């Protein structure tokens, strides 16, 4: 158990809908990362927050957004969903803002999203 929690575990929805995925980092960690794992693209970095502020952006679509709240939990919002958004979405956390390449990221169990 990494200490990172994600809810829900599974989500089934329809095209055009909007969903929110939630992540709670390990106790004491200030940085949250979101990754998408799909069959065709593999594991890709989406976005990172540190202590409530956006820190780095990866291959995140404009239809997707995220935020980190004062209690440090984070939410990933996916809107106007398409079939291709079906994937496993992981959250990871680390202590620092991500300036140290040696720092380990700890992953949650993921949310599996299926868009029908």
Partner 1 sequence: GNSVTQMEGPVTLSEEAFLTINCTYTATGYPSLFWYVQYPGEGLQLLLKATKADDKGSNKGFEATYRKETTSFHLEKGSVQVSDSAVYFCALSGTYSGNTPLVFGKGTRLSVIA
Binding flag, residue 10, partner 1 (CB under 8 A) = no
Binding flag, residue 101, partner 1 (CB under 8 A) = yes
The count of residues interacting with partner 1 (CB under 8 A) is 27
Of 13, 48, 73, 77, the one binding partner 1 (CB under 8 A) is: 48
Of 11-19, 40-48, 60-68, 74-82, which segment contacts partner 1 by CB under 8 A?
A: 40-48
Of 64, 72, 105, 115, the one binding partner 1 (CB under 8 A) is: 105
- Quick one: tokens of 47? 């976005």
Binding flag, residue 55, partner 1 (CB under 8 A) = yes
- Quick one: tokens of 106? 């700890």
SS (HEC) of the chain:
CCCCEEECCEEEECCCCCEEEEEECCCCCCEEEEEEEECCCEEEEEEEEECCEEEEECCCCCCEEEEECCCCCEEEEECCCCHHHCEEEEEEEECCCCCCCCCCCEECCCEEEEEC
Cβ-based nearer residue to partner 1, 8 or 16: 8
The residues binding partner 1 (CB under 8 A) are: 2, 4, 33, 35, 42-45, 48, 55-56, 58, 90, 92, 98-110
């Amino acid at each position: 158990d990494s200490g990172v929690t994600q809810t829900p575990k599974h989500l089934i929805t329809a095209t055009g809908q909007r969903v929110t995925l939630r992540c709670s980092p390990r106790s004491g960690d200030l940085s949250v990362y979101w990754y998408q794992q799909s069959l065709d693209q593999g594991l890709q970095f989406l976005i990172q927050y540190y202590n409530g502020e956006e820190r780095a952006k990866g291959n995140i679509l404009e239809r997707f957004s995220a935020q980190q709240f004062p209690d440090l939990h984070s939410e990933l919002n996916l809107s106007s969903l398409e079939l291709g958004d079906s994937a496993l979405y992981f959250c990871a956390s680390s202590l620092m803002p991500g300036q140290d390449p040696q720092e380990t990221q700890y992953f949650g169990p993921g949310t599996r999203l299926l868009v029908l």
